[in-house]
Amino acid sequence: MDILKAAQPASTFPTGKPNETDLALVNKLTRKELAADEVYVFSVKLCDNEVDRDGERFTTNCLKGLAGMFVGKTGMFDHSGKSEDQVMRVYETFVDEDPKKRTSTGEAYAALFAKAYLPRNGSNAKLIEEIDAGIKKEVSISCAVKRVKCSVCGKDIGRNGCTHRKGASYDGATCHAVLDEPTDAYEFSFVAVPAQPAAGVVKRRKQKANDATIEDLKRLAEDGRLYRAELLEKTLKAGATAMPEMARELLSAMCGNLQTAQLRQLHDTLREKAAQSLPVYSQLAQQVNGGMHANNEGFRV
């Protein structure tokens, strides 16, 4: 069964001029050796294992099977099948799995990514500009699979006794088609509306900006460590005055299990109790009810 699916490009993948590794992979597909400044590379998410707009989804094993099949396949526009629309080619693919992210069916999220190239020439200048500007973004794939199973009964959907319909609800679950056992990959195309919302061109992560962010986080972490150490020392001093019977080591051990906000609250409480236990007066303070002003006791050294 032939399948058409759509996708978008990513953030940690090459965009623009290829590095030595990417260029070597590109040149495996060319008739002559191309230089780095003759090639433009970009990355795309071809498809994933989420249920798409057509009520269909790939299995993770299907994505892995398609990965090898897409290497060397062409890229074009709107699945036209015309040779003049062949402007790109896939030179590397891989499946990225994220066990922390779950699909709507409860499975670990997986996506098939591809790296594609096209020559830098006059006819491709506009396309390269549109890719960089985010105009040409969404993509769709064309492939063939052997099995299209019903998500409800597991049979070939619409066949062999399967009476379920895609999009219909059965016992609270929406029926969809499960695509498995790929047999071929044909091409990928830029399209206006992809079947898979997440499919498309991927941006390259800016390493310098990312490194700066890490350094900023390190500085913030150090500032937080110093603040907590200072707050802990103040708390222990306040505790020595408010609760002289408690050993400093015991109070320190208790504070070690507290979050910084809790430690700050404990410090404020102990500081208030310490002020009550050992009040401090200014020598110039006016005392009431016949206090220091009556006999000058407050000024005696």
Question: How much is the mean pLDDT over the chain?
Answer: 83
Instruction: Answer yes or no: are the C-beta atoms of 42 and 139 closer than 8 Å.
Output: no
Q: What pLDDT score does 205 carry?
A: 40
Instruction: Answer yes or no: are the C-beta atoms of 140 and 194 closer than 8 Å.
Output: yes
Distance CA 202, CA 4 (A): 20
Q: What pLDDT score does 281 carry?
A: 53
How confident is the model over 70-76, as a mean pLDDT? 94
Q: What pLDDT score does 294 carry?
A: 52
pLDDT at 9 over 70: no
DSSP bridge partners of 286: none
- Strand 177-190 vs strand 56-58: parallel, antiparallel, or unpaired? parallel
* Residue % of the chain over a pLDDT of 90: 44
Of the candidates 62, 78, 59, the residue with the CA atom closest to the CA atom of residue 70: 62
Q: What pLDDT score does 297 carry?
A: 57
pLDDT at 270 over 90: no
Q: What pLDDT score does 8 carry?
A: 43
C-alpha of 284 from chain center: 62
DSSP bridge partners of 170: 173
| pLDDT, tens digit (0-9, with 9 covering 90-100), for 163-221 | 999 999 999 899 999 999 999 999 999 887 767 666 666 544 444 444 455 666 777 78
- Strand 56-58 vs strand 201-202: parallel, antiparallel, or unpaired? unpaired
Q: What pLDDT score does 37 carry?
A: 94
Taking CA atoms, 2 is separated from 24, 31, 160, in Å, by 32, 30, 20
| pLDDT, tens digit (0-9, with 9 covering 90-100), for 83-117 | 888 889 999 999 999 999 999 999 999 999 999 99
Q: What pLDDT score does 26 carry?
A: 96
Q: What pLDDT score does 209 carry?
A: 43
